[in-house]
Chain A
């Protein structure tokens, strides 16, 4: 363990304001892409189902 306590980990030896934003953006981007992809998939299926219903009604 490189740090003595959890607060020392958060402080990052005085470099907290450089290290955490970099890691934060990385986490945000990765999670954001996952959410985006899931949202995309859900919307797609909804669209497919809607079209199918519409075509079933038309037929």
Chain B
């Protein structure tokens, strides 16, 4: 176990490991996303309350789940950087941030599109939408802070501190927004969701969620390899690789 972690600290070893892992994840992502899309769009039954508009759920839920897990993954990477000074962890955190922001935006966009047929409005200050919006600002803050630092090492640590502060705050923000929401709006705008989804509805959802996860892992591995090359471009093994 410990030797594994020590090996992860070596960029070269990490580069080859990512290279070996990534084709499997790309294939799984492609397969799951294709099967999931066809199943979700064509074969899952129509919802008796929301009609076909509920099919937005198949992109809304996976992106919302990813938006949260990516921030947690970034926080774990940040902690690893600050505790063990493993540079690869910071590279991973850097590579994950834009995709996390994109997924947060997708969750907001699909949520507000869904809001029109179900709530009759593009935007309501629903607790989940509001905390998602705040999370988007947290992502953008992390990306902006990284961009502001000239030195990569200094920026890495500063971003790590901010990410950890952010991850402590996310549940606090979430609960405060829920509290605020119940204070200001009586529950007229709850999502009209059937009590339990039937299997033919949640099975494609599960496939889509897994597909999004695989895509995220594959993309992170791919971009992590780029990042390793970029930061290690002075070393001999990278230069030999370029030829």
- A and B touching (C-beta < 8 Å)? yes
Please tell me if the beta carbons of A52 and B226 are within 8 angstroms of each other in the complex. Answer: no
Please tell me if the beta carbons of A22 and B56 are within 8 angstroms of each other in the complex. Answer: yes
At the interface, yes or no: B68 with Cβ under 8 Å from chain A?
no
In the assembled complex, the Cα of A38 lies from the Cα of B56 at a distance in Å of 29
Please tell me if the beta carbons of A13 and B52 are within 8 angstroms of each other in the complex. Answer: yes
Which chain B residues lie closer than 8 Å to A44 at the CB level? 226, 229-230
Instruction: Looking at the assembled complex, report how far the CB atom of A21 sits from the nearest CB atom of chain B, in whole angstroms.
Output: 6
Please tell me if the beta carbons of A19 and B53 are within 8 angstroms of each other in the complex. Answer: yes
User: Can you give 29 A-B contacts (C-beta < 8 A)?
Assistant: A1-B42, A1-B43, A2-B45, A2-B52, A3-B42, A13-B52, A14-B52, A15-B53, A18-B53, A19-B56, A22-B59, A22-B109, A22-B110, A25-B109, A25-B110, A26-B63, A26-B110, A29-B102, A29-B106, A33-B99, A33-B102, A33-B219, A40-B223, A44-B230, A47-B233, A48-B238, A49-B243, A51-B233, A52-B242
Instruction: Looking at the assembled complex, report how far the CB atom of A41 sits from the nearest CB atom of chain B, in whole angstroms.
Output: 5
Please tell me if the beta carbons of A26 and B242 are within 8 angstroms of each other in the complex. Answer: no
Please tell me if the beta carbons of A37 and B42 are within 8 angstroms of each other in the complex. Answer: no
User: What does the 1/0 interface line of A28-42 toward B look like (CB < 8 Å)?
Assistant: 011001100100110
Which chain A residues lie closer than 8 Å to B33 at the CB level? 30
Which chain A residues lie closer than 8 Å to B63 at the CB level? 26
In the assembled complex, the Cα of A24 lies from the Cα of B182 at a distance in Å of 33
Which of B113-121, B161-169, B189-197 sits within the interface? B113-121
Minimum-distance CB pairs A-B, first 5: A48-B242, A13-B52, A22-B110, A15-B53, A26-B59
Give B26's nearest chain A residue, CB to CB.
Answer: A34
At the interface, yes or no: B239 with Cβ under 8 Å from chain A?
yes
Which chain A residues lie closer than 8 Å to B103 at the CB level? 29
In the assembled complex, the Cα of A22 lies from the Cα of B111 at a distance in Å of 9
Give A13's nearest chain B residue, CB to CB.
Answer: B52
Which chain B residues lie closer than 8 Å to A30 at the CB level? 33, 215
Give B238's nearest chain A residue, CB to CB.
Answer: A48
In the assembled complex, the Cα of A41 lies from the Cα of B238 at a distance in Å of 13
In the assembled complex, the Cα of A22 lies from the Cα of B109 at a distance in Å of 7
Give A49's nearest chain B residue, CB to CB.
Answer: B242
